Amino acid sequence: MGYKFSKEEMASIFSKLAVDYDVFAPVVKKGDGTFSDVDVVRYDKVSSLDEIEFEKKSDYSFKEALLPINETIFYFTEDETTVPKGPAKERLVFLRACDLNAVKRLDQIYLKNGFEDFYYKRTREMTKFVLIGCKESCASGFCASMGTNTTDEYDLYLKLDGDNAYVEAKDEKLTEIFKAGKEETVSPDFVSENLIKVTLPKNITPETMKSELFKEYGNRCINCGRCNFVCPTCTCFTMQDIFYKDNERNGERRRVWASCQVDGYTEIAGGHGFRGDNADRMRFKVMHKIHDFEKRFGYHMCVGCGRCDDVCPEYISYSNLVNRLGKECE
Amino acid sequence: MGYKFSKEEMASIFSKLAVDYDVFAPVVKKGDGTFSDVDVVRYDKVSSLDEIEFEKKSDYSFKEALLPINETIFYFTEDETTVPKGPAKERLVFLRACDLNAVKRLDQIYLKNGFEDFYYKRTREMTKFVLIGCKESCASGFCASMGTNTTDEYDLYLKLDGDNAYVEAKDEKLTEIFKAGKEETVSPDFVSENLIKVTLPKNITPETMKSELFKEYGNRCINCGRCNFVCPTCTCFTMQDIFYKDNERNGERRRVWASCQVDGYTEIAGGHGFRGDNADRMRFKVMHKIHDFEKRFGYHMCVGCGRCDDVCPEYISYSNLVNRLGKECE
Amino acid sequence: MSLDINTKKAKKNAWRITKERGIGASRIRVPGGYCDAEVLGMVQEIAQTYGNGYVHLTTRQGFEIEGIHLEDMEEVNKKLQPIIEKVGINQKGEDKDKGYSASGTRNVSACIGNNVCPFANYNTSNLARRIDKEIFPNDLHFKVACTGCSNDCAKVRMHDFGIIGQTMPQYDPMRCVSCNACVKGCQSLSVGALRMENYKIVRDTEKCIGCGVCVTKCPTRAWTRSEKKYYKLTIMGRTGKKNPRLGKDWLIWADEDNIVKIIKNTYEFVEEYISPNAPARKEHIGYIIDRVGFEKFKEYALKDVELMPETIMNNTVYWDGIHFDNQH
Amino acid sequence: MSLDINTKKAKKNAWRITKERGIGASRIRVPGGYCDAEVLGMVQEIAQTYGNGYVHLTTRQGFEIEGIHLEDMEEVNKKLQPIIEKVGINQKGEDKDKGYSASGTRNVSACIGNNVCPFANYNTSNLARRIDKEIFPNDLHFKVACTGCSNDCAKVRMHDFGIIGQTMPQYDPMRCVSCNACVKGCQSLSVGALRMENYKIVRDTEKCIGCGVCVTKCPTRAWTRSEKKYYKLTIMGRTGKKNPRLGKDWLIWADEDNIVKIIKNTYEFVEEYISPNAPARKEHIGYIIDRVGFEKFKEYALKDVELMPETIMNNTVYWDGIHFDNQH
Amino acid sequence: MKNEYIPQLSEIKEVIKHTDLEYTFRMAFDGEVKPGQFFEISIPKYGEAPISVSGIGDGLVDFTIRRVGKVTDEVFENYVGDKLFIRGPYGNGFDINNYKGKEIVIIGGGTGVSPMRGVIQHFSKNPTDAVSTTVIAGFKSPDDVLFKKDFEEWSKTINVIKTVDNAPEGYDGPTGMVTKYIPDLKFQDIKNAVFICVGPPIMIKFTIMEIQKLGVADEQIWTSYERKMCCGLGKCGHCKMDDKYVCLDGPVFNYTEAKELFD
Amino acid sequence: MKNEYIPQLSEIKEVIKHTDLEYTFRMAFDGEVKPGQFFEISIPKYGEAPISVSGIGDGLVDFTIRRVGKVTDEVFENYVGDKLFIRGPYGNGFDINNYKGKEIVIIGGGTGVSPMRGVIQHFSKNPTDAVSTTVIAGFKSPDDVLFKKDFEEWSKTINVIKTVDNAPEGYDGPTGMVTKYIPDLKFQDIKNAVFICVGPPIMIKFTIMEIQKLGVADEQIWTSYERKMCCGLGKCGHCKMDDKYVCLDGPVFNYTEAKELFD
């Protein structure tokens, strides 16, 4: 059901909402970009509507709202282990269609690939998603190519338009809150086409794995891992055991985001690593996104948000690599 | 009487001449200018015609051919003094009209101002002058204003013109040498007008001495003395007693060019100097050239060669100063 | 009339009296090197109309138009007017169309800065232009340069005042993924002030030079720049025949306003203590300090300066360099 | 398609990848800073057509055209062709219209030199251009600068190779008038290597740095320049975060040909000893020498070099500078 | 809901030293375990490492650990009676049924022998479960040999070739790489042969090349992969190869699958 | 032709010490000399300096030399019997006839007294040659007084005011600048007065100003200039002032000329 509000009304409702919920949304972090006097848009907890960046696609995805960069698995005190508490409040996560499609991928790994993940699950179950529409395509995304340009998995759709705000609430509890507004038909803005079009390779063979393209791009790669860290579908982590400097018998185990492009990712005790070569890492990443995830789960991992292209300091275009690979495989 | 030669004939005659005479002439000294890769034209002993620079006015005047920069007055050995020998050969000095007029000024001081100068006289008596003509005025000279644009005091006039050479010999001995040439009427090239015109101040009073102009130019002056050293009419020198490092009881007394613009010129034992101020030095120099020499000897000292203007590193234009002073005194 | 030029004035008017008799060169300066492209055409026109068609690009970020007849100085000065205005140089009204009002204080130079460069910690050109506005016109011999980071592409350590951009790196351990990029970056590109401890970064605050390499290397925004911009002030470096030496750090983690104040204060110090025999009142500040002592300099320089609590000031600065003046 | 740019190649092609996403800057270099004024107009046009209308004048004597969309790199490279030709930079045939063939070796910079400057002892731009021809294109990180005299306006002591013009002053006592101008000049402007003895000048040949001040000060041409041009070669100065330091004198009274040879030889040394981990094969030569030893460097550098008898070579060179890398 | 990440304390029942670097820890564990499965063994403050089961007993499980890396170094400071955190077993393990009634060749290199130890033990105790059983085990030198007593025991019932790459003068056992002994293997029916091969990647590569020369089909070859595994639960991603998670789908793979798994 | 630059050796006959710095050297010389003339006195290896004649005797000439500068320092190391190079006399000197029958005032400062000594001596010996003769001599302090014996002698026949600028307590002679004593001078007929004034430039300047206040015409004033003189022969140029060469046309000038001579 859709409702219309004035922007002021919406701001006021939102402020109340932000008391009951932990609201995670893209925020412009002034000067926090890689370079001096450059901003970054990333997720943070917000308490008012005007903190939210609705226009620019976030540089880092929503995923940290579900999967903290650092997450404590348990504390240990001598021989005992204690699991930290889960979220105290339900949470709202503002995101776009591509990202909401990415939630499905996170669920796939964390809930449906072997064991269920205790930590993800308890947060996920308390999370509702608020869709931000896309009136026009961003410059680097190719969601239409990946079929992730639309979604109906949102609990709320919220749109600001001039002095007005529109919502469509699907979640019952949220509907309660917004039904005070003027009823109006509201349907999300989705793009149907992007500037970037990606055609996935059709016939991937063992030969594909040896494509010179991986070498070419691998040589350009500096193994910084940004492509993974901004990606809404990358889920890897590493375990870290910390001992407290004040009492070395106590500490905690954490899981921390990991990147398949960064040194050490495949390294086992004794120092042997399995993908020392950048070409192999590049292949591994790309193939995961457009080939083997699909092989295992039946649909592609990549949601075409384009963040990896935007963030790469070496201007490696994953989308271009995929298109070139597609042509090679024809 | 005038004679014409081919340039080759002249060169050959000249080479022989240079055996009998010490020939002093303007020579381009490559790279010996004040600044890197800059030439200077100054007098030196030459043995062939092509060493002589006929086109460009020399930067330093001919006067060093008569008055060495350093001249030993006598050697002393314990209580004895010995006077160095004078020139062994007669000398020919190549110069232009302005400079030949300057010879008169040198003579005035060294022969007719009180005592006769032993050293100058013995050289002067062995010197003949070869006039270089001026087909057109140099850029900075104002000989016409000073009435020094012409002369008939030369012993020989020599002109190179394309493949030919012309001489007019007035000196008997020199006529002997050149009379082998084809007789032709030869008369020197003199300029009748210059680019620079100088009007001397007419009514010089004690007030003139206090003109602000001297301060203005004095402030610009750096007391390097170049104007004096290039001047064909400046005659000042300082006495120096040298003791030989190898035997300090023996040594020599020299006279060395001095400049009224350089520090120390008026300094007496004990350190007191009479013209410490640059304005006073500037006035002293200018007044000597255009006023008090004339007061003493009946004609002006300055011959308007313009070298002081050309050489001044501070671009002080003496000629302009004089013209401005002239206007002030009107 | 023969050339009759007050060379001292001409030099102060930013003209060079060249080694070639009668020929000058017009020295056009562009504060911080930040140059509207329009200026290029203007310089070209002067060079082709009055000069010999060649222009020397100077290492102080100016143009030196060669081969101008000294007679044309006045006319060229008129032509300089739009350039002076375009690059925003201070000028008194009566100096319009008369070229530069002073030349003793050298062009404030700057690396390209954070307009463009990924490593720069501030907008060097803007600071250079601010300082230029504050100190120009002035004929005392001051050399000031701004550089975006400790790489010092502007060679500020060869200046009387070198301003090196710093950032006080801010670390959010909860965003850190222990990828080591900052540690490696600091080790290979900077001073090795970072180490990993318990999977998190420990910054040696004594050693850290505030270059910001950690920030640029961080893939997760665990490292970000401080909101405040910081500057290191190095002082009294110089080239030259007697004792070329590197400027040494005096203030670390200082702020822009105080640095500007210190530079201006130093003018008063120099006015007071410059050698009366200094030719054309040109004496490097460093030599004045060598003569009258660092304490006296400090007394002047720090007038009305209240440093931020985090600013580190070295009480004494020791220089070395190479001594050609009193060797052996 | 999204921007897909080999930044390493672009950088070697003399492009800067700026801090602004998708925006590059074209780095035009002018060897020795000697610039046909025509070039200015060309740069202006590129800046106004493809850039943001602003150009940074660099302290290495180049133009950095700001604000060019990386998509336009190829087109701008074509526009650079006449500039590259005008300033006379080496280029292989196949590199035509493709911009600069390399950028690791930095623009050979030069003070204005004896084209113009009264103090310079040689034509710095010409030597810079000669060296450029000899060493370019090359991607190894070399910084070479030429300065006309020990005043070092080009700040050559912050370079790997600094070439300082010298003249061996020639004294004709018979032209000397004991005016003391040279003694005073040497004392106030240079190192005080002259003294008067018996009314004539005695030059302390150990102390004399060959700056030529005595020659320019002499009013009678008693002092003149040597016919041969001499150069002091200072080596391995640097700015930077770890250990900024002054280049120190290695050769004194050396000749041009041997210096050029030494620089070229050093490329072979670096090829051999550069750290395989050097990012983008960029390692300052000084650090390589620090690592492998001065003797090894000398062995390479002096290959086929036969120094003139009057050339003084310091057998060992000791650097100091400021250590930020291993302080405290 | 079960939190799979939480480990349990397990007592060290026995420590067997093989070499200066390699020990077997016999730990208390109640539950179903298969040879070839692995546990995540952790010491708080140091972290976890996936360790293969090298033996299975009653309420006991063996872990043969090489002293490399910081995690396993710490383990050696634990002794009998001390406790370690463990969680597992994870992975598929070897299915004995795949090898019963076959001419079995088990080829192992170094610690690669550990995951197969349960399999070897089964067939050496029950030699008639197979047509024949041959073990080719390679070690760097005589000092690096693991399971010395086991080899003595096993050689009583099955064929054992224990070779060392480098031997001191006078050493009278077999020497050279394991691959050296493959061409000489005799089979009644090569089609009924099965090969299990575990060891360092380079050893597996050349061993399989050698096996294939015998005309063996991919289906007859098995291997087990050692990969970085942080979670053991199909989450952390480190062990993924192509569409397989070594921790879930392996570590034991038939070569038909394994051959498509690129690193 | 005579080479005027060549000096002659002259023996030092007597050395009279006036102060720590000032001595009179009595040298052998045969020839015509006038008070106010000067000689170029030189010591080989050190150089020449123009020194005024401070006394004239038979075959003798006195030079009172102040120990300043390197030339005159050396002179003090010569003693009786040693020899110095001298050439001269040069310059015009004082013409006694200009002062005969006048009311003479001779004003001297420091070594400025030397060139006038011959004049004073003449009129003290022949007091009736003049209407009156007054000497005002100024010195810095009692220790700087020159010609002490002369002053005693002179004061017997002519008026002598010997003043010192600075005197220690208890000094009972005249003190203050010479100018202080000028206004009080008494003249029978000021138009018949002549003034001779020699000393440092500043002293001459103020003295003449004071004299002029008395209503004295320029023609009645004489002075002598001390200038740098290298040659003494009108060549080297150092002593030139306006169109005058001090060495040739001076050093004694009537003030009508002197007033137009700018430095």
Interface of A with D (CB under 8 A): 34-36, 38, 139-140, 196, 220, 306, 309-310, 313-317, 319-321, 323
- At a CB cut-off of 8 Å and minimum separation 6, what does C126 contact? C32, C34, C113
pLDDT at residue A101 is higher than 60:
yes
The answer to whether residue D19 neighbours chain A at the CB level (below 8 Å) is yes
Select from A278, A129, A268, A272 the least CA-distant residue to A215: A278
SS3 label, residue A62: helix
- At a CB cut-off of 8 Å and minimum separation 6, what does D274 contact? D140, D281, D283, D288
Give the pLDDT band (50/70/90) at residue D328: very low
C with A: touching (≥3 Cβ pairs within 8 Å):
yes
pLDDT value for C328: 42
- Residue found under tokens 């030189």: F42
* Average pLDDT estimate for D47-58: 97
What is the DSSP code (8-state) at residue C113?
G
- At a CB cut-off of 8 Å and minimum separation 6, what does F152 contact? none
Q: From CA E260, how far away is CA A204, in angstroms rounded?
A: 12
Mutate to test the interface with A, among D3, D4, D17, D277 (most CBs of A within 10 A): D4
pLDDT value for E47: 79
Counting one residue from chain B and one from chain C, the pairs whose CB atoms sit within 8 A come to: 40
A139-159 per-position pLDDT tens digit: 999 999 999 999 999 999 999
- Residue found under tokens 């495989």: A329
The answer to whether residue C21 neighbours chain B at the CB level (below 8 Å) is yes
Per DSSP, the residues of A142-188 read -HHHHT-S-----SEEEEEETTEEEEEE-SHHHHHHHTTSEE-----
Q: From CA A212, how far away is CA D231, in angstroms rounded?
A: 51
| Cis ω before F201 (30° cut-off from 0) | no
Cβ separation of C4 and B317 shorter than 8 Å? yes
8 A C-beta contact, residue A238 and residue E238: yes
The number of residues in chain D equals 328
* Average pLDDT estimate for A56-67: 97
Question: How crowded is residue D83: how many other Cβ atoms within 10 Å of its Cβ?
Answer: 24
* A43–chain E nearest CA distance, Å: 22
A with B: touching (≥3 Cβ pairs within 8 Å):
no
Q: From CA B18, how far away is CA B14, in angstroms rounded?
A: 6
pLDDT at residue E142 is higher than 70:
yes
Pull the structure tokens for residue F211: 């004299």
The number of residues in chain A equals 330
8 A C-beta contact, residue C112 and residue C254: no
What is the DSSP code (8-state) at residue C238?
B
8 A C-beta contact, residue D135 and residue D105: yes
Identify the chains in contact with E, defined as 3+ C-beta pairs within 8 A: A
pLDDT value for B28: 98
* F224–chain B nearest CA distance, Å: 15
Question: How crowded is residue F127: how many other Cβ atoms within 10 Å of its Cβ?
Answer: 15
pLDDT value for F75: 67
Give the pLDDT band (50/70/90) at residue D70: very high
Interface of B with D (CB under 8 A): 29, 31-37, 40, 42, 60, 68-70, 224-226, 229, 238, 240, 242-243, 245, 254, 256-259, 262-264
Cβ separation of A81 and E248 shorter than 8 Å? no
* A88–chain E nearest CA distance, Å: 18
CA distances from C293 to C273, C289, C296, C323, E88 (A): 11, 5, 6, 18, 74
Surface-to-core class of residue C288, CB atoms within 10 Å of its CB (0-12 exposed, 13-18 middle, 19+ buried): buried
* B306–chain C nearest CA distance, Å: 9
pLDDT value for E71: 64
Q: From CA E140, how far away is CA E62, in angstroms rounded?
A: 23
Minimum CA–CA partner of A223 in chain C: C181
Pull the structure tokens for residue B72: 């030993």
Taking CB atoms within 8 Å and a gap of at least 24, the contacts of B35-41 are B35/C19, B35/D114, B35/D118, B35/D216, B36/C19, B36/D114, B36/D120, B36/D121, B36/D122, B36/D148, B36/D165, B36/D167, B36/D212, B36/D225, B37/D114, B37/D122, B37/D123, B38/C19, B38/C20, B40/D221
Select from E239, E242, E185 the least CA-distant residue to E214: E185
Strand partners, F87: F40
Taking contacts as CB-CB distances below 8 angstroms, the residues of chain B near F46 are 241
Cβ separation of A35 and C114 shorter than 8 Å? yes
Give the pLDDT band (50/70/90) at residue E170: confident
pLDDT at residue B126 is higher than 80:
yes
Sign of CA dihedral D126, D131, D136, D140: negative
Minimum CA–CA partner of E241 in chain A: A284
This model of the complex carries an ipTM of 0.91
Cβ separation of A274 and E68 shorter than 8 Å? no
Domains of chain B by residue range: 2-183, 206-328
* C3–chain B nearest CA distance, Å: 6
Surface-to-core class of residue E81, CB atoms within 10 Å of its CB (0-12 exposed, 13-18 middle, 19+ buried): exposed
8 A C-beta contact, residue E52 and residue E38: yes
Digitized pLDDT (tens) for each residue of chain C, 328 residues in all = 589 999 999 999 999 999 999 999 999 999 999 999 999 999 999 999 999 999 999 999 999 999 999 999 999 999 999 999 999 999 888 889 999 999 999 999 999 999 999 999 999 999 999 999 999 999 999 999 999 999 999 999 999 999 999 999 999 999 999 999 999 999 999 999 999 999 999 999 999 999 999 999 999 999 999 999 999 999 999 999 999 999 999 999 999 999 999 999 999 999 999 999 888 888 999 999 999 999 999 999 999 999 999 999 999 999 988 998 875 4
What is the DSSP code (8-state) at residue D33?
G
Q: From CA E137, how far away is CA E154, in angstroms rounded?
A: 12
User: How much of chain F is in helix, strand and coil states, percent to nearest 5?
Assistant: 25, 35, 40
8 A C-beta contact, residue D32 and residue D127: yes
Strand partners, B70: B256
Residue with more model confidence, E74 or C273: C273
CA distances from E91 to B60, E33, E87, E231, E245 (A): 102, 10, 12, 12, 9
* Average pLDDT estimate for B188-202: 95
CA distances from C56 to C49, C64, D113, D155 (A): 16, 5, 10, 16
A252-275 per-position pLDDT tens digit: 999 999 999 999 999 887 778 888
8 A C-beta contact, residue B274 and residue F263: yes
SS3 label, residue C261: helix
Strand partners, D163: D146, D233
Select from A108, D313, F24, D116 the least CA-distant residue to C54: D116
* D260–chain B nearest CA distance, Å: 21
* Ranges in chain F, pLDDT < 50: none
Q: From CA A254, how far away is CA A68, in angstroms rounded?
A: 10
Q: From CA F140, how far away is CA F176, in angstroms rounded?
A: 9
Q: Nearest 5°: CA angle at C41, between C38 and C47?
A: 145
- Please state at what angle helix D294-301 crosses helix D285-292, rounded to 10 degrees: 120
Taking contacts as CB-CB distances below 8 angstroms, the residues of chain C near B321 are 4
* Mean pLDDT for all residues in chain B: 94
* C259–chain D nearest CA distance, Å: 21
Give the pLDDT band (50/70/90) at residue D213: very high
Cβ separation of A196 and D4 shorter than 8 Å? no
Interface of B with C (CB under 8 A): 34-36, 38, 139-140, 196, 220, 306, 309-310, 313-317, 319-321, 323
Say which amino acid occupies C243: N
Question: How crowded is residue E259: how many other Cβ atoms within 10 Å of its Cβ?
Answer: 14
Whole-number percent of chain B with pLDDT over 90: 87
Closest in E227, E234, E248 to A268, CB measured? E227
Give the pLDDT band (50/70/90) at residue D1: low
Q: From CA F17, how far away is CA F65, in angstroms rounded?
A: 10
* Mean pLDDT for all residues in chain A: 94
Helix (H) or strand (E) holding D179: none
Closest in C178, C215, C217 to A256, CB measured? C178
**Can you give the pTM of this predicted structure?**
0.92
Cβ separation of D118 and B34 shorter than 8 Å? yes
Question: How crowded is residue E71: how many other Cβ atoms within 10 Å of its Cβ?
Answer: 18
Select from E105, E3, E17, E121 the least CA-distant residue to E66: E17
pLDDT at residue E74 is higher than 80:
no
The number of residues in chain F equals 263
Q: Between β-strands A127-132 and A91-95, what pairing exists: parallel, antiparallel or unpaired?
A: parallel
D95-134 per-position pLDDT tens digit: 899 999 999 999 999 999 999 999 999 999 999 999 999 9
Give the pLDDT band (50/70/90) at residue E195: very high
Chain CA centroid to CA C273, Å:
22
Chain CA centroid to CA F196, Å:
10
Q: From CA E121, how far away is CA C138, in angstroms rounded?
A: 94
Cβ separation of A313 and D7 shorter than 8 Å? yes
- How many CA atoms are closer than 13 Å to the CA of D33, on its beta-carbon side? 32
